[in-house]
Structure 1
Amino acid sequence: MYKSALLFSLIEKNLILIIQFISSIMLARLLSPEDFGVFAIITTFIFLAEAIQQVGIPNYILKEKELDTNKLSSAFALMLILGVLMAITLFLLADSLANFYDIPSLHNLAILMSVLLLISPYSVIERSLFRKHLNFKLIAKIDVFSTLLGSSISVYLAYKNVGVTSLALGLISQYIAAAILFYAASNQKVSLFSFSKNKVFEIFSFTYPLVGSSIVGQLGNSLPNLFIGKAYSQASLGQYARAEGTSNLFGSIFIQGIRPAVAPIFSKLNHENKGATEPLSKITNILCTLGWPIYFLVAFFSEEIVMLIYGAQWGFASNLVMWFCVSQSFLLLTAFYTDIMEGLGMSMPLLKVQLNNQIIKLISIIIAYFYQSDFIYFVATFLVIFAISRLVYMTAVSRMYFNYGWLELSKAIVSPIISTLLFTGPILLLMYQSNNMGGSSLAIITSLLTGLTGYLIYVLKFNHIFKDQINIILKR
């Protein structure tokens, strides 16, 4: 059951990544870095408002053992009320946002995007129910279709010179499609006529500790965008977002594909009184075995990848991609710790951890800005400081709550380190011999094939955790 959930979650995310990859290639040639920078700013505020609106309800549905129509409708009513309040707030702040960032188009864009807050309650409840029951097959179908629809609309409107608004209308279309399909597929229909005021307050009393965690987490994710958009320029933010998206495009194949299933799986393991140490070691081993070689390749060929996929106007982003890959390689080691805490119902510890992580991020940004005014060096310094600091802190957290510290982590990554060295060794040797990043195409291809051969032999022969999981998948 767990492996099936992980498999469908992985399939869904990879299909979505393919759709986003293809659409991003087209959009990168139809829109400017400034357009993407403006969109990054407004989506930052939208996602922060959504974190407040959801008020921990997805986690409530995940943890609640018995859910009837009254409870679900009350949760829906709470989300809709908060959505209306957040939409009104964004409407009132639209002019101030435009003035603060000195971007007039932000005003109308903020008003348009506030519609998302009125749509999302219609899909969040049903999606959370399907997630609770590990029905990731249905989630995959709906998410893939809605993403394809939204991406297609964005590309078409961008082609028609609608500008940054094409991104907004595409996202709104995606939300509407998902809401309709999730509501139609659900066996437990929510309704404003079935909610109870007492239940609304009861749900809020359960979820309010999680609100802080969601807000802090989303605010932390948004800090770089908010800071860069103000301290540098919307074009710089657009290049930053493109570099982040490029590194995530490859790394997310594994992380985002697995993430939706982590919390419900560990929640069920907890109900069955099973420990987290062994599955955590397996996840870490597999993530690093797959992720580290990919991040190396993306970093090594960052300029070629960016120029080939997005075009010359995004060349500056290639300077940032390498540092995102370095940062993401560290973050892989603790990628799912907060998801596991969510699944185990650790609401207050999770809030504390999220808050401390964002403090670490804020301090990293401040240090990087004051010591490195150049944008490239600022990004590099910030990403490296944050990644290392977070690794140290999260390992201490996992030692405290999961009994999974440096020793357990070290054992889990021995095989990934060896396999990554085998993969990267030939290309690094070629770099050393040629004394530059070049070399003939034949030499580079030969080095890559040699490294890949060594990697596959070791992984399939000696990495027993990885080999066992491959055998399980093949038997299925």
Structure 2
Amino acid sequence: MAPTQGVKTITTNVGWSVLSKTATFGLKFVTVPILARLLTPEDFGSVAVALTIVQFLAMIGGAGLTSALVVDREGDMATVHTVFWANLGMACLMALAIFLGATDLAILMGAPGSAGLLKIMALLIPLQLAGDVAYSLLARQMNFSKDAVLSTISESAAALIAVGLAFFGFGVWALVFQLFSAALIRLVGLYAVVGYMPRLVMRPRRLVPLLSFTTGLMGSEIANFVTFQAPMVVIARLLGLADAGAYSAANRFASIPNQVVLSAVMGVLFPAFSLMGDDRKRRSDALMLSTQVMTAVLAPAMFGLWAIAEPAMLVLFGPQWAYAWPVLGLLALSKAIVTPCSTFIPYLKGTGHGRVLFWSAVLRAIATTAAIAIAAYYGTLVDAMVALCVVNAITLIGYSWAVFRVDNIPFLQGLLTSSRSMITAFVMALGVRAFLHFFADRLTNPYLEVLAGGAVGAAIYALLFLLTERSLLRKIVELVRRRGMRDAASVPSA
């Protein structure tokens, strides 16, 4: 029988994952601006366009089978081996298809100069999919501490390699080596810590039960991928590779808080929600608490970046990127708007509501692609980012309605509870922008603007949070107190 997951287990694994992502964030916070100063917008755009194709086909090649392994905890090793070979075989076919069609794909994406990069980056697909089975075995065990260490090592080493190569004039290849280094180090590490060794065992019938879970999940994964990657494709085709590079660089930095928190939390919450079964009250409590905490952590970071985007662009990326500060600010704003949705995807995925997840993702993908395409066609990159913000505001309402309806949570009550910290963070950001505008004559240095804006924002948010989230603070304190009592009770007396 699968172990029952309590709040303690979930928070422990979330803690490990967040610790890993925070370490990676610290390095990326330094290396992304360095790379931006050493490379050009065209370099970022070329790699980003090629990577979009690779990631899309890698996702299709995996077919969601490894996610099904996480849920299918009763599956034996024959099933695991079968999934491994199915994944690897599909990965090789996808890599071959990219290699043969690289020129046509690059032209289709609006970046004909990326064909050579695309042929080489096709090898990333087997590297990525070969490690998915080992990761699924870790997720089955809820053993995210080992994955946290591996993620930190692989991402940190790859980032340092990229900076070194960029410094010595390798140009766009620095970004390519970063991707391959991270994938290879993580692949070797996963198999080392899990102790899994693939055997030549193929039982195609074992895939049939997994495919019933995979079908709905894959549709939603593809739709989510389109949502996040369609802007790059549309911008490259309609506005050019330089604007695509500006979008890519700004998006890399604006996504760091999400990479730190969301990727860590989603990886843990998916298997955790899947183990809660039909215990609706426990599920609902875990959903609302995790949503509130994630919003309280992410919203101030994203709204804060929007508030100081103009000086931050100069400080982080340098004068050559100064023109793109509205892109950085609007990207941060668009991500801030949907912070309450951070736990909705792993919740729907883990509780088996594949149909709700699929249609929510499809509608969001269609709306995002259409809005950005129309805005880019008739306007500029900034107009496209404004359109993204509007779509994300609609997404917040739509996703909240769908999820709260599934768990019989009153819509308005659930929306207010999950979004309260976001509203507080928005008020804080308005205060920071007003402060920077009022003291513009004194804060003439962008470094001073960033430091002053950050300090004022932290003070405002802390005060507003204490006034509006006392019930959440009590829950967290009580959770910590209970955990401390359980830990003390589990220690044997001398």
Give the direction of change, closer, same or farther, for the CA distance of 1:433–1:118 in structure 2 (3 Å limit): closer
Partner of 1:376: 382
SS in 2 for 1:336: helix
Output aligned runs, 1:32-51, within 5 Å: 32-51=40-59
Give the direction of change, closer, same or farther, for the CA distance of 1:470–1:240 in structure 2 (3 Å limit): farther
Cα root mean square deviation, aligned: 2.7
Give the direction of change, closer, same or farther, for the CA distance of 1:349–1:184 in structure 2 (3 Å limit): same
Give the direction of change, closer, same or farther, for the CA distance of 1:377–1:438 in structure 2 (3 Å limit): farther
Instruction: Kindly indicate whether the alpha-carbon contact (under 8 Å) linking 1:415 and 1:463 is maintained by their aligned counterparts in 2.
Output: no
SS in 2 for 1:270: coil
> Which amino acid letter does the alignment assign opposite residue 401 of structure 1?
V
Partner of 1:22: 30
Partner of 2:360: 353
Deviation at 1:262, TM superposition (A): 1.7
Deviation at 1:366, TM superposition (A): 3.6
Deviations 1:265-286 (A, max 9, x none): 2112235554433222222322
Q: Structure 2: how far apart are the matches of 1:447 and 1:20?
A: 22
1:146 to 135, 139, 154: 154
Give the direction of change, closer, same or farther, for the CA distance of 1:356–1:454 in structure 2 (3 Å limit): closer
Q: Structure 2: how far apart are the matches of 1:101 and 1:458?
A: 45
1:12 to 3, 6, 20: 20
Deviation at 1:160, TM superposition (A): 2.8
1:263 to 243, 259, 270: 270
1:401 to 398, 406, 409: 406
Deviation at 1:38, TM superposition (A): 0.5
Give the direction of change, closer, same or farther, for the CA distance of 1:131–1:443 in structure 2 (3 Å limit): closer
Instruction: Kindly indicate whether the alpha-carbon contact (under 8 Å) linking 1:126 and 1:183 is maintained by their aligned counterparts in 2.
Output: yes
SS in 2 for 1:211: helix
Instruction: Kindly indicate whether the alpha-carbon contact (under 8 Å) linking 1:247 and 1:321 is maintained by their aligned counterparts in 2.
Output: yes
Q: Structure 2: how far apart are the matches of 1:150 and 1:445?
A: 29
Q: Structure 1: how far apart are the matches of 2:449 and 2:306?
A: 18
Deviation at 1:170, TM superposition (A): 2.0
Deviations 1:154-182 (A, max 9, x none): 22222232221221122112111111111
Output aligned runs, 1:144-293, within 5 Å: 144-191=152-199, 193-270=200-277, 272-293=279-300
Deviation at 1:231, TM superposition (A): 0.7
SS in 1 for 2:75: coil
Q: Structure 2: how far apart are the matches of 1:388 and 1:330?
A: 6
Report whether the alignment pairs 1:320 with 2:327.
yes
Instruction: Kindly indicate whether the alpha-carbon contact (under 8 Å) linking 2:103 and 2:115 is maintained by their aligned counterparts in 1.
Output: yes
> Which amino acid letter does the alignment assign opposite residue 162 of structure 1?
F
> Which amino acid letter does the alignment assign opposite residue 100 of structure 2?
L
Q: Structure 1: how far apart are the matches of 2:437 and 2:152?
A: 44
> Which amino acid letter does the alignment assign opposite residue 240 of structure 2?
S
Deviates more, 1:93-102 or 1:112-121: 93-102
Q: Structure 2: how far apart are the matches of 1:168 and 1:397?
A: 39
> Which amino acid letter does the alignment assign opposite residue 403 of structure 1?
N
Deviation at 1:42, TM superposition (A): 0.5
Unaligned runs of 5+ in 2: 1-8, 485-494
Deviates more, 1:394-403 or 1:53-62: 394-403
Instruction: Kindly indicate whether the alpha-carbon contact (under 8 Å) linking 1:122 and 1:183 is maintained by their aligned counterparts in 2.
Output: no
Deviation at 1:306, TM superposition (A): 1.7
Report whether the alignment pairs 1:61 with 2:69.
yes
Partner of 2:305: 298
Q: Structure 2: how far apart are the matches of 1:469 and 1:365?
A: 40
Instruction: Kindly indicate whether the alpha-carbon contact (under 8 Å) linking 1:97 and 1:106 is maintained by their aligned counterparts in 2.
Output: no
Report whether the alignment pairs 1:391 with 2:392.
no
Q: Structure 2: how far apart are the matches of 1:287 and 1:197?
A: 40
Deviations 1:197-239 (A, max 9, x none): 3324554454233222222221222111111111111110111
Q: Structure 2: how far apart are the matches of 1:438 and 1:344?
A: 54
Q: Structure 2: how far apart are the matches of 1:376 and 1:275?
A: 43
Deviates more, 1:442-451 or 1:197-206: 442-451
Partner of 1:75: 83
Give the direction of change, closer, same or farther, for the CA distance of 1:290–1:213 in structure 2 (3 Å limit): closer
Q: Structure 2: how far apart are the matches of 1:362 and 1:397?
A: 21
Give the direction of change, closer, same or farther, for the CA distance of 1:96–1:269 in structure 2 (3 Å limit): same
Q: Structure 1: how far apart are the matches of 2:220 and 2:129?
A: 19
SS in 2 for 1:335: helix
Instruction: Kindly indicate whether the alpha-carbon contact (under 8 Å) linking 1:59 and 1:342 is maintained by their aligned counterparts in 2.
Output: no
Deviation at 1:360, TM superposition (A): 1.6
Deviation at 1:97, TM superposition (A): 2.4
Partner of 1:456: 462
2:435 to 411, 419, 430: 430
Deviates more, 1:201-210 or 1:358-367: 201-210
Deviates more, 1:450-459 or 1:141-150: 450-459
Unaligned runs of 5+ in 1: none
Partner of 2:417: 411
Deviations 1:360-388 (A, max 9, x none): 21232244235x412222322x2122112
Instruction: Kindly indicate whether the alpha-carbon contact (under 8 Å) linking 2:110 and 2:233 is maintained by their aligned counterparts in 1.
Output: no
Give the direction of change, closer, same or farther, for the CA distance of 1:424–1:88 in structure 2 (3 Å limit): closer
Give the direction of change, closer, same or farther, for the CA distance of 1:399–1:194 in structure 2 (3 Å limit): same
Identity of aligned residues (%): 20
Q: Structure 1: how far apart are the matches of 2:110 and 2:374?
A: 26
Q: Structure 2: how far apart are the matches of 1:463 and 1:214?
A: 36
Give the direction of change, closer, same or farther, for the CA distance of 1:426–1:438 in structure 2 (3 Å limit): farther
Q: Structure 2: how far apart are the matches of 1:220 and 1:208?
A: 19
Deviation at 1:425, TM superposition (A): 6.7
Partner of 1:84: 92
